[in-house]
Amino acid sequence: MTNQVAKITVLSGDYIGPEIMKAGLAVLKAVSQDQFHYQIDEQPFGGAGIDQFGVPLPDETLSSAKQSDAVLLAAIGGPKWDDAPNRPEKGLLQIRQELNLFANIRPTSISAAMQRYSPIKQVEPVNFVIVRELTSGIYFGKPREIDDTHAIDTMRYTVDEIRRVARVAFEMAMKRKRHVTMVDKANVLATSNLWRRVVAEVAADFPEVHYDTSYVDAAAMKIISAPEQFDVILTENMFGDILSDEAAEITGSLGTIPSMSRGSDGPALYEPIHGSAPDIAGKGIANPLSMINSVAMMLTHTFDRSDLADQISQSVDAVIDSGTVTPDLGGNATTNQVTNAIIQQIYERR
């Protein structure tokens, strides 16, 4: 990647989407300087796609994404399209399918600067990621039926689906604290037993990684009582859906958390975990940290530039520490003030 120009497809989306994307791109520009060369292709997506082309994922947007090294997405959807025949959110399902984004990765960290916002008492810093299988399991399994007297959902996994997401988790652990915890319900579910078998095989390829397992009910407790014990949590789709929201909650703020969705090859997609926040759109007070942290995550995972990502994280922490934060974190700074303070910190750290 070093000598090439990185290609980034930018999907600013709806409501606060463009506001926080602008902040994320300003920080990317500041941190890149002469050190990282990239070009941006901005495309309509979600509600913006519906407004301009009648569909949430227009063809040109998809082909731009497919030719990119990474996709940056802000947030989509909102009341404007409540009655639209095409839902903005459908674009997200489509792009995940098209780019085969089967692994969703969400970091949970409580840095020293963020401690005071956490609803849990934490002595040691918390820093773990959840690797969630995103394209299979009970949300997709057939048969799915309902009538007056019964209903059926099907949790189904294949060996290949498990193996590919397990590899993502172990590879990630190699760059972290080398610990993977697989979360399942193997005392009850057949699918969990298959996960145990397949993940144990993958674990054998990574002897440096400490591998253990936890039942999902116990893991849900530990995320509150001892979150510092985790490094990489690997889990199936529905458990990951629930646990990742629980994990977001212990950081104390929806407005700071990024995420990454990736496949085996091809571009990964980076986005904040929150929605388009129609209630605060246009007021200039959206917290830009989720988007700025998404940019940092992109620099680390797609472009192997954790040096630049670290500059962003350190600047973000310094700005949080100084109290320049948006109203969702109890402050009175605007999106622009927070963003400018971070850019200032980046320059001072040069």
Q: Is the CA virtual torsion 216, 222, 224, 228 positive or negative? A: negative
- Given the residues 117, 185, 215, 310, select the one marked as catalytic: 185
- Binding residues are 96, 106, 132, 217, 241, 245, 275-287
141-146 and 151-154 as β-strands: parallel, antiparallel, unpaired? antiparallel
Nearer to ligand ATP, 15 or 128 (CB): 15
Q: Phi/psi of residue 293, each to 5°?
A: -70, -30
Q: How far is the CB of 135 from Mg ion (least distance, A)?
A: 19
Residue nearest to Mg ion (CB): 275
Residues 237-296 that bind Mg ion (CB under 5 A): 275
Nearer to ligand ATP, 64 or 276 (CB): 276
Q: Enumerate the H helices of 36-75 as residue ranges.
A: 47-53, 59-67
Q: How far is the CB of 260 from Mg ion (least distance, A)?
A: 18
245 is catalytic: yes
Residue 262 burial by CB count (10 A; 0-12/13-18/19+): exposed, middle or buried? buried
139 is catalytic: yes
- Binding residues for Mg(2+) are 217, 241, 245
Residue 127 burial by CB count (10 A; 0-12/13-18/19+): exposed, middle or buried? middle
Per-residue tokens: 244: 């990742």
| Amino acid at site 268 | A
321 is catalytic: no
Contact between 279 and ligand ATP (CB under 6 A)?
A: yes
Residues 172-191 that bind ligand ATP (CB under 6 A): none
E-strand stretches of the chain: 6-13, 38-42, 70-75, 103-110, 126-133, 141-146, 151-154, 179-184, 210-215, 232-235, 258-262, 268-272
258-262 and 141-146 as β-strands: parallel, antiparallel, unpaired? unpaired
Stretch that binds ligand ATP, among 170-178, 234-242, 280-288, 337-345 (CB under 6 A): 280-288
Contact between 304 and ligand ATP (CB under 6 A)?
A: no
Contact between 277 and ligand ATP (CB under 6 A)?
A: yes
- Given the residues 160, 212, 245, 307, select the one marked as catalytic: 245
Per-residue tokens: 69: 């090294």
Residue 277 binds which one of ligand ATP, Mg ion, none, with CB within 5 to 8 A depending on kind? ligand ATP
d(CA 234, CA 107): 12
Binding mask 5-44 for ligand ATP (x = CB under 6 A): ---------------x------------------------
| Amino acid at site 75 | A
Spatial neighbors of 48 by CB under 8 A, at least 6 apart, are: 12, 13, 14, 76
Stretch that binds ligand ATP, among 1-9, 66-74, 220-228, 269-277 (CB under 6 A): 269-277
- Binding residues for NAD(+) are 275-287
Of 104, 214, 290, 300, the one binding ligand ATP (CB under 6 A) is 290
15 is catalytic: no
Q: Are 115 and 122 in contact (CB under 8 A)?
A: yes
Binding mask 62-81 for ligand ATP (x = CB under 6 A): ---------------x----
- Given the residues 41, 241, 310, 321, select the one marked as catalytic: 241
Spatial neighbors of 58 by CB under 8 A, at least 6 apart, are: 43, 44, 45, 49, 52
Of 8, 173, 286, 312, the one binding ligand ATP (CB under 6 A) is 286
Which spans of this chain sit near ligand ATP (rule: CB under 6 A)? 20, 77, 254-255, 274-277, 279-280, 286-287, 290, 326, 328
Which spans of this chain sit near Mg ion (rule: CB under 5 A)? 275
Catalytic site positions: 139, 185, 217, 241, 245
